[in-house]
Copies of this chain bind each other. A is one copy, B any other.
Amino acid sequence: MEAIEELQTLLKKLPGMGGKSAARLSYHLIKTDESYNRALGEAIATIKEKIHPCPICGCYTEHDICTYCSDPSRDRTLLCVVEEPQDVLSIASSESYNGLFHVLGGAIDPLGGVGPDSLTFPELCRRVDEGSFREVIIATNPTEEGDTTALYIRHLLQDKDITLTRLASGLPIGGDLGYADKLTLSRSLRGRIRI
């Protein structure tokens, strides 16, 4: 197989990459700077050996303990529970949260074969028992699986002496009422706030 075809075959396996995009990208890489190609190739080839889950919260890190868990300036009375490691970055980059994180590793999805046993609920309970948290914010996705997972966490933690909260659902900022789906509108009505 020619080198270009091999590169295109590999690129086509990336999510959202069709045949035309892979072709365009491969010709871009042939025209671009060689040192960039080497840096990108090296970064892709070695990402999995550099990155591992933080043993405390489960988010991706290069260090023994992740930057969030080891940062003494973060509020250790707040715990935000998310589904995936990338959700940590989304919430951290909103710059509205300064507490700790807990990554479940997914959401309960019986049809998809994900039961509570495959998620990090025991670690969550242990952290709540051993830590000094006063509030646990459930930041699972506003989907059926995320809702089920949130209910399960409420069931697990309801006897502990902590406040349980969930991220607000409603209209996205910059959105348009005309484009909002019925469920989002109904949630934003139920969750309406006094101004």
Contact = CB atoms under 8 A, between A and B. Distances in A.
Contacts of A14: 25, 28
Given A21-B16, A40-B11, A29 B4 contact: no
A26 interface: yes
A2 interface: yes
Interface stretch (A42-50, A74-82, A129-137, A139-147): A42-50
B34 A49 contact: yes
Interface size bracket, A side: 35 or more
Interface string A1-30: 011101100110111100001011111111
Interface of A: 2-4, 6-7, 10-11, 13-16, 21, 23-30, 34, 36-51, 60-62, 67, 84-86, 89
